[in-house]
A and B are shown apart, each in its own frame.
Chain A
């Protein structure tokens, strides 16, 4: 009998499998297809203070072993999330959920997190710092250690729940940003967000995506993600949530060996809506195959 239990920022999870934000909505639509309580948890759709429609379409482009998306944080806004989405989520999911939050100013991050902090459904915050700072010339908060630390402090000041900062890989030194977040009080780090990518249509000779560029995800980015998770996990003491191209139980274990305490599954959900259920079901078999008795024991083993 193998043990898939892990503890993330003090909260026990039956297994480390987490559908990533933006690929799983608020859960209830997937609950029509299977019992989503088999998951470790899930990270809900990136929520902002105000409602957002997002970018014009087309928002999606296919790539070799992956895809580009430029959805643009479409969401109904935090008040509607609390009033309409969380009650529906609560009916079908009975574990602490991860609240993914985005913002375009420190005040917006803080206001959104403060309102969500009172919701009992929420176990963790996952703060997406890949958004442009409207007061900082449009530079992403995630591209400098100082800006990343300032978001961390702003959110920590108004919340009681663990705060996980989700890092952008589109930086020169991700380790310095992870350390800055840790020093600013972050309870965990998740990575990687999507890699900035672009595709051009040979027929129209124009970018495929209306927004021109978007976030590249899928199996193609996994080696980059494994490397960054490994580097960050070596450098910080707080737990790391790994993601990037995960589509199997073997991938989950590889991320954990690199240093991840829990592992998110993103783009693969969009191709196979049952994949997270299947990964959870497959984990014990793969653990036995590789002689792993307890998943929590292999976290960071590749770096020891």
Chain B
């Protein structure tokens, strides 16, 4: 990850479900309950940068025989839930990834850094490669027709998350550059 990468910064802001491991006074408003302390066991969506910090930091044990515990325990975000993974396993093309998260794969890699989930890693890679083939086809068509494929293409673009949009642009630029050269060679 690089310091000034906008996509990485936006991925950092994605909300991840966190279960609080202790009562926190005066944070009840996070759970729509401002009069009460935030109860241990409550699950709240926190931005990834904060969630990671709280999950990895250890708090001082309150008694000598208690193990060091973290403030919150992390869970996988809905975008990487079992339901989404099953849907992707069934047909990677049928899921509009952008509706899950604008930075679906970016979020995926961040979560895979924190959780050793070989299964999710395999599903994400297969999904990426399978959908990439579709992206190449659409981008090739769009590159050959000059517009970015208005109409059916627009609908297709809408379902793509950020990595995929970048991939689409690369494939499109390649097709367009070749077409322009092929047409230009006849002229001079």
A and B associate: no
